[in-house]
Amino acid sequence: MQRRSFVTQTASLAFSAALLSPGLSRAQAQAPRAGTDFNVLDRPAPVEAPAGKIELLEFFWYNCPHCNAFEPVLSEWVKKLPKDVVFKRVPVAFRDDFVPQQRLFYALEALNLIDSLHARVFAAIHVEKKNLSQAPAIVDWVVKQGVDENKFIEQFNSFSAATKATRARQLQTAYQVEGVPALGVAGRYYTDGALAKSMGRVLQVADHLTEQLRRTG
């Protein structure tokens, strides 16, 4: 996966294999290794999780087909995370034209609509083939989901959404995100499908790293 790219044939095949295969290869069964399955950040990334908690970030883009395929798998995995793990989603912006979808996510978050509409955004784009890349189309779609138009526009255009979008880009840079979907762990570690060779393996790497952090602090 090249820097600032979103899909490659290798990552795509590995991702599909992870979703379809119930077993793991001998290599996948080995303990995750730094530099192979995950990267250790040269400089720690900022974290917001309180003391005693482990921050876990998912970097994603609504238009990314791999993020769409990963979302239901990730959501089920998140439900089983230990109570000391704080999970957050971070919408990336590799280009300026990604920003409207960042604002979409943070507006939904502000209105407490992530649980009900986050997966539906993916479905609208990847199943219904809607173009939700620009503000007018985004607003029109959200209103059709029963959301108050004025409240959504207020949040979409808010200083808070702009600030959070800027912070998301800073986190993306701090974690040296190579592509999406990807995970960042505790401001220290980064992994994605290209490193771990499958998105199923990515989740195993994250489990390993959180357990390691739990033991060592």
Dump the DSSP string for the chain: --TT----HHHHHHHHHHHH-SS--HHHHSPP-BTTTBEE-SSPPP--SPTT-EEEEEEE-TT-HHHHHHHHHHHHHHHT--TTEEEEEEE--SSGGGHHHHHHHHHHHHTT-HHHHHHHHHHHHHTS-----SHHHHHHHHHHTT--HHHHHHHHTSHHHHHHHHHHHHHHHHTT--SSSEEEETTTEEEEHHHHSSHHHHHHHHHHHHHHHHHH-
Mean pLDDT in consecutive groups of 10 residues from the start of the chain, 217 residues: 40 43 49 96 96 96 98 97 97 97 98 98 98 98 98 98 98 96 98 95 97 88
pLDDT for 105 equals: 98
**Considering the entire predicted model, what is its pTM?**
0.88
pLDDT for 30 equals: 82
pLDDT for 179 equals: 94
pLDDT for 26 equals: 44
